[in-house]
Amino acid sequence: MEISFDKEIRQLRLGAGETFHGEGILAITKALLQSGVAYVGGYQGSPISHLLDVMVQAKGYMDELGVHVQACSNEASAAAMLGASIHYPLRGAVTWKSIVGTNVASDALSNLASPGVTGGTLIVVGEDYGEGASVIQERTHAFAMKSSMVLIDPRPDLAVMVRMVEEGFCLSEASSLPVLMELRIRACHVRGSFTCKDNLAPADSTRKRFAEPAGFDYAKLAHPPAVFRHEKLKGEERLPAARRYIVDHHLNEMFDAARNDLGIIVQGGLYNALIRALQLFDLADTFGTTQIPMLVLNVTYPLVPEQFTSFCIGKRAVIMLEEGQPEYIEQEIATLLRRRDIQTPLHGKDLLALAGEYSIELIARGLSGFFSRYGWADVTPPVEAWLAANQARREAVADLLPAPLPPRPPGFCIGCPERPVFSALKLAQRDIGPLHIAADIGCHAFATFEPFSSGHSILGYGMSLASTAGIAPMIERRSLAIMGDGGFWHNGLITGVQSAIFNRDDVVLLIFKNGYTSATGTQEIISTPNQLTRDTARDKLQSLTSTDLTIETTLSGLGVKWMKTVHTYRVAEVRRVLLDAFTSDFAGLKVIIAEGECQLERQRRIKPWLAALMKSGERVARVRYGVDEDVCSGDHACIRLSACPTLTLKDNPDVLKVDPVATVIDGCVGCGLCGENAHVASLCPSFYRAEIVTHPRWHERMVAAIRHSVIKVFARS
């Protein structure tokens, strides 16, 4: 990737007493080093990409400390990496996006949690839930419970998050349990500060290696009969040890208060939202001092029964704030209270929403119901008035607008190499009829939005081809699976391609070869054009993905017989290759490699290069497209085939015409899709391609001058 993390790496080097300023996820990264972590791995994904990106770039410093960093091929390989801590006293940390990453990792996690760990292991998961999330809405909590792993959900305060990382490793070692730490989206991106400690170089490391491997120990294998003993150990020794640690080190926080007839139990991650909600009732001040007792669970699994009983006894009622469903914590507390015959009423999902992010408004509404039920009539009126006023304002704005505002989902970048393929696919379907299209995870999933509205299903990262296995034989027309190179290496090669070849599936697979896992932040993969090629390319404008053939050779090696490579911007060719694939007599797996390097990465190379050429007075040609406003038909068919952000509308300069015309605005990178579409789809002849040459060479200037003088004669006639 072409982004530099120098500034972040400097932050990682801070020593004791210095103050760190920055994002939550970088603070976690620093905390790993302060804890003496020996190895780090993971798979990128919002919101935790930053952890790994920075670590990978900080290779020099990591070598100094003796820390091994690995960008794993998927979450399963990251989880398996933690196997190092089963036998050896090595602290290890891995990271990924959850719930999806945890799903992929779960096989290895089960097999890790069963024998348990010697060295502390921490799994940092970005809980991609609520506003801004991009995956299915499920809870990581279930995995912690089923595999008996600790789950930390820290208060979103940098100092607390850092402390919980350090405690997490100790807790893991004290209990032999792997520890998960879930961080919500906003907690990963929160900017704050904390006072640093020195980084600890791990005792055993890449600089101080073990002389010999550990001895054979059957009990450390996830294999029968050892697994039967492991299950017992979890309940009889490990979980109790974890509970002891949680209590002894005050990981959960109990806040007592004056009005102690009611109480609130809250996941640590929701603490700030709860305090802001309580401020609305005038039950908390700016600094978090509350008038109602609170039990803040920085560790949400395992729960410590004694903490709940002591909190609940003597209260008229308690309410549990637990985001997501099902309400595992609330259910466990209910069981606990029932078993000990404690009659304190327990509320939670009965007063708060079952699904969705717990926003401050939603929490306030739930608490208002709770307080009024138990007679705290003095605190609810201002909140009820506030809730009603919010509603009234929303209605007032809605009344003012002619229609609800159109949504604005993310989309393909300007000049994205994937957009033209979906234009071609739209056009190809005009010829062969609608297709069953299995979509996948990646930037290309943006094609599910308007104007392409393409794709029948998304079954997971790299799963598109596998997901055609059941439907393809049932449909007359061939089915199409779309996959990015990121998804291909993550999973698609094995679950999709291998299976399709083995079963002789008659399907079409289109692989976007853009060179990076772009949707997660353009991380590099095995087929990324190598750095030397990128640095030494003479023409930085060109796509360099063709310089790496790992995907092609892998597919040939696996036995793919029908494989065609096509340059994505050539819409006519892409359309033709699609038609070929769908009408070919060849009955096996047909693979189309759609090649075009990620525009985001290219622009990061191109911009400084062009600026340098410009400065040194060398010839630079830039391309952009335009629309002739008096020729444009104003029906916007071109936009319905592309939706490039720079192809937009402006008022029609012709006073007789009422509909806006298409226009190309600044920012056009001259990818050429407009012109290609105009040709392939026979759109109106309003598009032109403009090449602007700065510092033209002498012969160019001469030719231009001759042309100009001849044309002048014509123009007069």
Partner 1 sequence: MPGPAQPITILVCALGGEGGGVLTEWLVEAARLAGLPVQGTSVPGVAQRTGSTTYYIEVYPHALDAGAKRPVFSLSPVPGAIDLLVSSELLETVRHIGLGMALANRTTIISASTRTLTTHERLHMGDGRVPSEPLLAAISRHSLEHQVFDMATLARESGTAVSAVMLGAIAASGVLPISRAQFERVIADDVRGTASMKGFAAAYGALTRQKESRDFVASAHAVGEAPQPDTTAAPTTGAKADFAEFPEAVRPTLALGFARMLDYQDERYARLYLDRVRTICAAEASQAGLALANDFATSRECARYLALWMAFDDIVRVADLKSRKSRLRRVRDEVKVKPGELLKVYDHFRPGIAEVAALLPEAVATRLRSWDRKRQARGAEAFAPALKIPLHGILGFASLKILSSLRWLRPHGSRYQEEQVLIEKWLAAVARGATSNWQLGQELALCGRLIKGYGSTNEQGKNHLLHIVDHLAAAAFFSGEEERALAVRDARVAALADDSGKALDVVLSSRGAPKTEVREIPIKFVRQRQPPKAEPAPAK
Q: Which residue has the tokens 């998804």?
A: 487
What backbone torsions phi and psi does residue 192 show, to the nearest 5 degrees?
Answer: -155, -155
Q: Which stretch binds partner 1 (CB under 8 A): 210-218, 222-230, 357-365, 526-534?
A: 357-365
Q: Which stretch binds partner 1 (CB under 8 A): 174-182, 185-193, 373-381, 608-616?
A: 185-193
d(CA 488, CA 469): 16
Interacting positions 188-217 with partner 1 (CB under 8 A): 189-193
d(CA 695, CA 325): 63
Q: Which stretch binds partner 1 (CB under 8 A): 162-170, 203-211, 486-494, 706-714?
A: 706-714
- 241: Cβ contacts below 8 Å, ≥ 6 apart: 174, 175, 176
Interacting positions 552-581 with partner 1 (CB under 8 A): 572, 579
**242 vs 465 by CB, closer to partner 1:** 465
Helices (H), 550-643: 550-558, 571-583, 599-615, 637-640
Q: Which stretch binds partner 1 (CB under 8 A): 140-148, 216-224, 560-568, 656-664?
A: 656-664
Residues 442-461: x where in contact with partner 1 by CB under 8 A, - otherwise, as a string: -x-----xxx----------
**343 vs 717 by CB, closer to partner 1:** 717
State CA 612 to chain mean position distance: 34
Single residue of 106, 206, 309, 359 touching partner 1 by CB under 8 A: 359
- Least spacing, CB of residue 25 vs partner 1, in Å: 11
Single residue of 235, 381, 473, 608 touching partner 1 by CB under 8 A: 473
Q: Evaluate whether 178 touches 150 at the Cβ level (below 8 Å).
A: yes
Single residue of 361, 373, 541, 546 touching partner 1 by CB under 8 A: 361
96 binds partner 1 per the rule CB under 8 A: no
**131 vs 618 by CB, closer to partner 1:** 131
185 binds partner 1 per the rule CB under 8 A: yes
- DSSP type of residue 284: B
Interacting positions 262-321 with partner 1 (CB under 8 A): 271-273, 275-276, 280, 284-288
Residues 584-623: x where in contact with partner 1 by CB under 8 A, - otherwise, as a string: ---x------------x-----------------------
d(CA 226, CA 654): 82
Residues 58-77: x where in contact with partner 1 by CB under 8 A, - otherwise, as a string: --------------------
698 binds partner 1 per the rule CB under 8 A: no
- 570: Cβ contacts below 8 Å, ≥ 6 apart: 420, 676
687 binds partner 1 per the rule CB under 8 A: yes
356 binds partner 1 per the rule CB under 8 A: no
**110 vs 648 by CB, closer to partner 1:** 648
DSSP, collapsed to helix, strand or coil, labels residue 288 as: coil
Residues 401-440: x where in contact with partner 1 by CB under 8 A, - otherwise, as a string: xxx-xxxxxxxxx----------------xxxx-------
d(CA 715, CA 704): 16
Burial class (CB in 10 A: 0-12, 13-18, 19+), 211: exposed
Interacting positions 2-61 with partner 1 (CB under 8 A): 21, 46-47, 49-50
**247 vs 692 by CB, closer to partner 1:** 692
- Least spacing, CB of residue 399 vs partner 1, in Å: 10
Q: In terms of DSSP bridges, do strands 620-627 and 253-255 run parallel, antiparallel, or are they unpaired?
A: unpaired
d(CA 49, CA 212): 35
- Least spacing, CB of residue 478 vs partner 1, in Å: 6
Burial class (CB in 10 A: 0-12, 13-18, 19+), 131: exposed
- Least spacing, CB of residue 73 vs partner 1, in Å: 19
Interacting positions 479-538 with partner 1 (CB under 8 A): 506, 518-522
- Least spacing, CB of residue 132 vs partner 1, in Å: 3
d(CA 217, CA 408): 57
- 524: Cβ contacts below 8 Å, ≥ 6 apart: 1, 71, 516
- Least spacing, CB of residue 451 vs partner 1, in Å: 5
354 binds partner 1 per the rule CB under 8 A: no
- Least spacing, CB of residue 625 vs partner 1, in Å: 9
136 binds partner 1 per the rule CB under 8 A: no
Helix axes 158-175, 239-248, angle to 10 degrees: 140
Helices (H), 297-437: 305-312, 328-339, 360-373, 380-400, 419-432
Strands (E), 139-247: 150-152, 179-184, 191-195
- Least spacing, CB of residue 13 vs partner 1, in Å: 19
Q: In terms of DSSP bridges, do strands 562-567 and 590-595 run parallel, antiparallel, or are they unpaired?
A: parallel
Tokens linked to 531: 């750095």
- Least spacing, CB of residue 55 vs partner 1, in Å: 16
Nearest alpha-carbon partner for 261 in 312, 315, 215 = 315
d(CA 354, CA 323): 8
- Least spacing, CB of residue 206 vs partner 1, in Å: 29
Single residue of 531, 533, 556, 583 touching partner 1 by CB under 8 A: 583
- Least spacing, CB of residue 485 vs partner 1, in Å: 15
- 112: Cβ contacts below 8 Å, ≥ 6 apart: 79, 80, 82, 83, 86, 121, 178, 222
Structural element, H or E, at residue 168: helix 158-175
**544 vs 641 by CB, closer to partner 1:** 641
d(CA 608, CA 654): 40
**272 vs 554 by CB, closer to partner 1:** 272
Interacting positions 232-261 with partner 1 (CB under 8 A): none
Q: Which stretch binds partner 1 (CB under 8 A): 222-230, 239-247, 469-477, 544-552?
A: 469-477
Single residue of 86, 187, 337, 383 touching partner 1 by CB under 8 A: 187
Single residue of 20, 25, 629, 671 touching partner 1 by CB under 8 A: 629
Q: Evaluate whether 615 touches 533 at the Cβ level (below 8 Å).
A: no
To 5 degrees, how large is the angle CA 360–CA 364–CA 368? 175
